[in-house]
Amino acid sequence: MRLVARSLADQVRWLRNHPSIVVWVLASDMLPRPELERQYSEQLDATDTTRPSLTACSTRVSEVSGPTGVKMNGPYDWVSPNYWYLDTERGGAYGFNTETGPGPQPPPAASMRRMLPEANWWPPDEMWDYHSGRNEFNTIDRYEAALRARYGDVDDLDAFSQIAQVANYEAMRAMFESFSIRRPQTTGLIQWMLNSAWPELYWQLYDYFLVPNGAFYGARDGSRPVNIAYDYADRGVVIVNETKAPLENVTAQLRVFDLESQLLVEAALTADVAPETVEAALTVPPLGEVAGNAYFVDLRLVSADGEQLASSLYWLSTQPDVPDWDASEWFWTPMAEFADLQGLQSLPETEVEVKHSFAADGSRVDVELHNPGDRIAFFIELAVEQESSGHLAAPILWSDNYVTLMPGESRSVSAEIPAHALAGENPVFRYSGINVQGD
């Protein structure tokens, strides 16, 4: 125990001047033995009193320091977006969840082709399982079942990967947003995990090849300090201000469209939002048969001088997801009923005007997107490929991706491209969307 306690002290001396260190964690799932915890405490008193210590990352009660005040109750596999808002006993949006995430995040098709032999590209088979996790996570069967039930059948790798990015974004954004808009009953959240150390289908915001998937952008959008978000529990529209400055005279705008891009509902509300505050703004009314099985909710937050501060798009169903709480296991909650979002795969096709330009040295690409038609252009994926290999250039950082354009909307997007991302090849720009023929 003395050796381990001295080791802690050495690590604290090594790292204590780094501003990113928030807390010293003394154990993961289990508590340290009481005598060891006492020795840890003595070492911390001598080396760093500027930060608190966390005795364990799970819900435990130490005889030395009392309750940990955090939880590690999962889930670790796919759960519906409303899970985070409805659950009050497991990993849902309350307290500090030290380790959780909605399970598999299959990467874009280009990465799938690099990680799997061509004979195993489609359909999912034992090679897909090999690139999953271990034990309960040695397959993506649960994820795939939810994907097919909610979004419909897919018949090849490209179709699977394309709709998987929609599902990845939806699942990850809901988790992060729920912990944002449920403040102060939520105090923190850590996603399991950032990325995998080998080509895998599970637990990653970007893959082994450093390519972000839809979950990366869902996490980023769901964590915006100034945001406008949809509450899956009560159909509310919420303004989030996690900054130190007030939001004065901002307007929350709500529009609801059916899958034919027909405007069904429009509303707006102007409000002041204090610093570090969440403000209820509007409510999405029940739509019933008028919306069909699925519909879009387009939310915008606009400043007093007309600047768009945040935008959020949701695809929802008149048939809600219903978790089967009684069948919950430690790593997930199965479903009694699934939402019906299958109409997204048969959206009316539309054309998008796309212009792009590379910097002379290939270090940047600027993209101008415009939707001139009267149809929503849904979930457009932007990519830069290496000209000869066809591999995605990575790592590159897009200012935005998986972009949806409302009728008449334009968007400017850019990406920084480090030289090594191209591996000496010329860059080629590509795009495609759920209902947009790509190039």
**Any idea which residues carry the catalytic annotation?**
29, 99
Residue 420 neighbours by CB under 8 Å, 6+ apart: none
Q: Which amino acid is at 242?
A: E
How many CB atoms neighbour CB 104 within 10 A? Answer: 28
Residue 79 neighbours by CB under 8 Å, 6+ apart: 102, 103, 171, 323, 332, 333
* CA gyration radius, the chain: 23
Alpha helix (H) residue ranges in 350-414: none
Alpha carbons 347 and 345: distance in angstroms, whole number: 6
Would the CA dihedral through 208, 211, 214, 215 be positive or negative?
positive
Q: How far is CA 358 from the centre of its chain?
A: 29
Residue 415: in which H helix or E strand, if any? strand 410-416
In this structure, what token pair is assigned to residue 110? 């280009």
How many CB atoms neighbour CB 12 within 10 A? Answer: 19
Closest by CA to 66, choosing from 80, 54, 79, 84, is 54
Alpha carbons 429 and 383: distance in angstroms, whole number: 6
In this structure, what token pair is assigned to residue 333? 């909650």
Question: Phi, psi (5° rounding) for residue 324?
Answer: -95, 85
Alpha carbons 213 and 294: distance in angstroms, whole number: 24
> Coil, strand or helix: which one is 32?
coil
